[in-house]
Amino acid sequence: MTMMRYAEALNSALREEMQRDPTVFMFGEDIGRYGGVFKVSKGLMEEFGENRVRDTPISEQALTAMAVTAAMSGTRPVLEIMYADFMPLTLDALVNQASVFGYLWEGQVEIPFVLRTQGGGGVGTGAQHAKSLDSFVAHVPGIKVVAPVTPADAKGLLKAAIRDPQPVVFLEHKLLYNMRGEVPDGDDVLVTIGKAKVVKEGTDVSIFATSKMVLEAEQAARELAKDGISAEVIDLRTLRPLDIGAIMASIAKTHHAVVVNEGWTFCGFAAELSASIMDHCFDDLDAPVERVAMPDMAIPYSEPLETAMLPNAAKIAAAARKALA
């Protein structure tokens, strides 16, 4: 095991996959000489050259279409979109090309590319640089969507995503890049896409969370424990495909559910997760599913106002108490 930051774990995954497979290459805005705005690609242009680590103009729509075409042509591109807020510019290539070409060509065409981007609030970057738009892409069949929270999962899931034959949207949170954790050594230590992880076992209520909200859920569980409430925390890790088996197993044990996501409440991922639980676990529930998500408004630039609207441990704990009332 090696201790490293989340950003370093991603960098390690990219380096190892580029060393392993010469068809893997990277491109995006400021990822080369500058090393990426969050330094995830630091040093990779110097190691692999400008043909495999390419700086690009600012045109997310064109870049995503290029990634689709490159993937169809036999390479494995890794595209970085600097902020998740710019994801709407990629949707034509993702929704009308990447997600359907395998179907249209009856499996004769594979689209093995990864679109990396980061989102989330918490540092006062305002309404245009702090969104969590995971539901935009998780809605579309034919695209896998992952959102790791630990450095180990960041590395293992990114390596798995690069090797996957389908398009994968890889979601990172800006407040996780400096998080430190132990990462397994070895070039072939992968994390399976589509498998959730129990990060804390419990018996009274299940808390299902994504990305940074897993950390808030863990803190909520510690607060609940002071009141004698045993909360189970599940890190979904993958939004699509969703590990419904892990969800069912947890609710069969606790009979209460709280779902947490940093996206907006209306039509957000938390809404789909709540509906999936009702579809598959209704008979095991002793109370309605509680949702913790963002209010339906633009994200304020003011850090105190932004902090007030973000989901947090206190709100999660309150939702758990309501579910158990």
* 295-322 as b/e: b if 16+ CB within 10 A: eeeebbeeeeebeeebbbbebbbbbbbe
Concatenate the DSSP letters of all residues of 191-205 into one string. --TT--EEEE--SSE
255 is catalytic: no
Q: How many Cβ atoms sit within 10 Å of the Cβ of residue 194?
A: 18
Given the residues 8, 17, 129, 216, select the one marked as catalytic: 129
Mean local confidence (pLDDT), 39-56:
96
This prediction's pTM: 0.95
* Domain architecture of the chain: domains with CATH: 2-183 (3.40.50.970), 197-324 (3.40.50.920)
* Model confidence pLDDT, tens digit, residues 273-316: 999 999 999 999 999 999 999 999 999 999 999 999 999 999 99
Query: CB-based contacts of 291: which residues, under 8 Å, 6+ apart?
Result: 258, 259, 260, 265, 270, 271, 274, 319
- Residue 97 and residue 92: Cα distance in Å, rounded? 7
Beta bridge partner(s), residue 76? 24
pLDDT of residue 218: 98
Please say if 173 is a catalytic residue.
Answer: no
pLDDT per residue as tens digits for the range 197-222 = 999 999 999 999 999 999 999 999 99
Q: What is the CA radius of gyration of the chain?
A: 19
Residue 62 identity = A
Q: What confidence tier does 10 reach under pLDDT thresholds 50, 70, 90? A: very high
The pLDDT assigned to 296 comes to 94
Sorting pLDDT into bands at 50, 70 and 90, what band is 237? Answer: very high
From the list 8, 60, 216, 272, the catalytic residue is 60
Identify any residues that bridge with 114 across adjacent strands, giving them in sequence order: 78, 168
Sorted by sequence, the CB contacts under 8 Å of residue 92 that are 6+ apart come out as 61, 64, 65
Tell me how far apart the alpha carbons of residues 289 and 34 are, in angstroms, rounded to a whole number. 45
Please state whether 158 falls in left (phi above 0), alpha (psi between -120 and 50) or beta. Answer: alpha
